[in-house]
Amino acid sequence: MSNGQSRFHVPTPPYRPGDEPDFTHLDLQKAGAAPRPDPAVGWEETRDLATGLVGVLDHNHQAVGAWNPELSAEVLREGLSHMVLTRIYDERMLKLQRQGKMSFYMKSTGEEAVAVAAAMALKPTDMVFPSYRQQGILFARGRNIVDMMCHCISNSRDNLKGRQLPVHYTWAEGSFFTISGNLGTQFPQAAGYAMACAYKGEDQIAASWIGDGTTAEGDFHAGLTLASTYRAPVIFNVVNNQWAISSNQNIARGDAPTFAAKGLGYGLASIRADGNDFLAVYAATQWAAERARQGKGATLLELFTYRGDAHSTSDDPTKYRPKTEFDRWPLGDPIERLKQHLIGKDEWDEDRHAKLEEQMTALVVKSYKEAESHGTLHEGPLSPTESIFEDVYAKPDWRLRRQRQDLGV
């Protein structure tokens, strides 16, 4: 069929390269319009929230409505700082990847609020099961940047001994679970972890993130079924950044009104929030965390956002979507919006922002120099070769001992 006709429905994106994107058809609920029920309500009370859009920052960058988490300027500046660092770090790492310093990279441009605001709304001890685009959590939790870089360039100080692709971080100390490249596996795991928290009578909860495309995986259903059945204290985040590599979100969503709406069928509290609104992400996460800690079970949060850059360094988005989409995205840029909000409150200005960017750039540049002093993937030093045989089991058996000898290490 070359005439664009199809005998069954195959969703297509609204715009392809060369088109002028116009997102007015999205008809998004205005910031401040969504009511905020008590976090202990029955899931039925979240029906409208699942198809609406929880937003706090309005088009004038004012914080409005019942979901305003009323954060201090200090906390907002901290959030802004983490987001700026995330973006600058990503930019730098992309450049370094292009220079051959690492094998692969994945940026989170445009999605910084999804990770940073959520991490700040959670307790630092809450266990997170992220996907590969929530590096913002690590900055918000204060992970050493040199350590992050050492992982990405797989050098002798990579805490994962060079076993994982770049950005597939693990940081147990920061309650950050090991990231998988297999999509969706973290949802049932997060449910199991959360159940174990409840079993141990601890206040800790779990939170996990997947993308819009991954909701099609069986593990999405597995995770939500577990969470609903056992009322696990877990937060399931669906980062709807509109694109799963080249597939538009509608390939996974089908005719469901929103991704959040999928949670209602499981009897889970379900909310769609503006993922580019730091305050909305914070407020929705805070609501879900409170609900979980009260023993009321899981929440499905859809964070409505836009993947501002390529899926990964192996991807070229100009081949399947207009270059101008991110600029035309009706929910803007999360960093710019929080910045303007703070400026509007007289708590920030362009000079301070420029200075912050300079500081963060300097920090990233300096950190990379230090990271590189511990080696790079291509020039070494790497983790010792024999370490490839470690951690398969608690103790290597005869097969691994012999194979190590065979390799001569």
Partner 1 sequence: MPAMNIIQALNSAMDVLLERDPDVVIFGEDAGYFGGVFKATDKLQDKYGLDRVFDTPINEAAIAGMAVGMAAKGLKPIAEIQFADYIFPAIDQIVSEMSRIRYRSAGQFTAGCVVRAPWGGGIRGGQTHSMSPEAFFTHVPGLQVVVPSNPYDAKGLLIAALESGDPVIFFEPKRIYNGPFDGVPDTPLKSWAKHAKGEVPEGHYTVELGKAEVVREGEACTVLAYGTLVHVAQAAAEASGIDAEIIDLKTLAPYDIETIAQSVNKTGRVVVAQEAPRTSGFAAELAAQIQEECFYALEAPIFRLTGWDIPYPHAHEWAYFPTRDRFARAMKTVTEA
Q: Taking CB under 8 A as the rule, does residue 149 contact partner 1?
A: no
Instruction: Among 255, 394, 405, 408, indicate the residue that binds partner 1 (CB under 8 A).
Output: 394
Helix (H) or strand (E) holding 404: helix 398-407
Q: Which of 133, 157, 291, 311 is catalytic?
A: 311
Nearer to partner 1, 62 or 178 (CB): 178
Instruction: Among 51, 81, 144, 170, indicate the residue that binds partner 1 (CB under 8 A).
Output: 170
Is 311 part of the annotated catalytic residue set?
yes
Q: CA nearest 302: which of 220, 400, 219, 390?
A: 220
Other CB atoms within 10 Å distance of the CB of residue 47: 13
Q: How far is the CB of 322 from partner 1 (least distance, A)?
A: 35
Nearer to partner 1, 9 or 200 (CB): 200
Q: Taking CB under 8 A as the rule, does residue 221 contact partner 1?
A: yes
Identify which range of 11-19, 93-101, 176-184, 245-253 contacts partner 1 by CB under 8 A. Answer: 176-184
Between CA 282 and CA 40 the distance in angstroms is: 18
Contacts of 39 (CB under 8 A, 6+ apart): 287, 288, 290, 291, 294, 296
Is 320 part of the annotated catalytic residue set?
yes
Backbone dihedral angles phi then psi of residue 403, each to the nearest 5 degrees: -65, -35
CA distances, 16 to each of 83, 113, 148, 231, 266 (Å):
29, 27, 36, 42, 34
Q: Taking CB under 8 A as the rule, does residue 206 contact partner 1?
A: yes
Is 307 part of the annotated catalytic residue set?
yes
Q: Taking CB under 8 A as the rule, does residue 147 contact partner 1?
A: no
Q: Taking CB under 8 A as the rule, does residue 171 contact partner 1?
A: yes
DSSP string, 129-141: E--TT-HHHHHHT
**8 A C-beta contact, residue 300 and residue 271:** yes
Q: Taking CB under 8 A as the rule, does residue 161 contact partner 1?
A: yes
Other CB atoms within 10 Å distance of the CB of residue 37: 17
Task: Report the interface residues with partner 1, using CB under 8 A.
Answer: 127, 129, 159-161, 163-164, 168, 170-172, 177-178, 180, 182, 185, 187-197, 199-200, 206, 218-219, 221-223, 225-226, 229, 390-394, 397-399
> Would you please indicate which residues are annotated as catalytic (active-site) residues?
307, 311, 320
